């Protein structure tokens, strides 16, 4: 079974990424049409994911900011709740890897702070 919940170093605000890609492009016409179609499909995926209520899928949706949860603290709490739920159901969902603030590697590689 693939573990979809292990890489928690970075999250992506997918709706903002789409908007900023279109706004920053010199000729956004084709991007607007493509992203408009993708946005509808992504919304349908988010709706279906919420219906399925799978903890691993919920974590991914929360990390992509496709579930409406604000502020960041509450979103992180929801991710932790889903991770615990996944553990109870036997879905492998380990805690995130701690990354060193200096080298970006696992804690202890360069002696820098975590």
Smallest Cα–Cα separation from 1: which of 63, 84, 85, 91?
Answer: 91
The domain spans of the chain are 1-114
Number of H helices, E strands in the chain: 4, 0
- Residue listed under structure tokens 């990390």: 63
Say how far apart CA 50 and CA 90 lie, in whole Å.
20
The pLDDT profile of the chain, 114 residues, written as one tens digit per residue, is 556 555 556 788 888 888 888 888 888 888 888 888 998 999 999 999 999 999 999 999 999 889 988 788 898 899 999 989 988 888 754 555 556 666 655 555 555 554
Cβ atoms of residues 37 and 18 within 8 Å: no
CA dihedral angle for residue 58, residue 15, residue 39, residue 45, rounded to 10 degrees: 0
């Amino acid at each position: 079974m693939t573990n979809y919940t292990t890489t928690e170093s970075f999250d992506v605000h997918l709706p903002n990424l789409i908007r900023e890609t279109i706004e920053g492009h010199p000729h956004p016409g084709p991007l607007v049409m493509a992203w408009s179609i993708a946005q509808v499909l992504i919304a349908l995926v988010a709706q279906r994911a919420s219906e399925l209520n799978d903890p691993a899928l919920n974590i991914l949706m929360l990390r992509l900011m496709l579930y409406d949860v604000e502020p960041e603290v509450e979103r992180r709490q929801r991710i932790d709740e889903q991770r615990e739920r996944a553990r109870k159901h036997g879905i492998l969902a380990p805690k995130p890897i701690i990354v060193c603030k200096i080298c970006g590697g696992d804690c202890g590689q360069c002696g820098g702070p975590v």
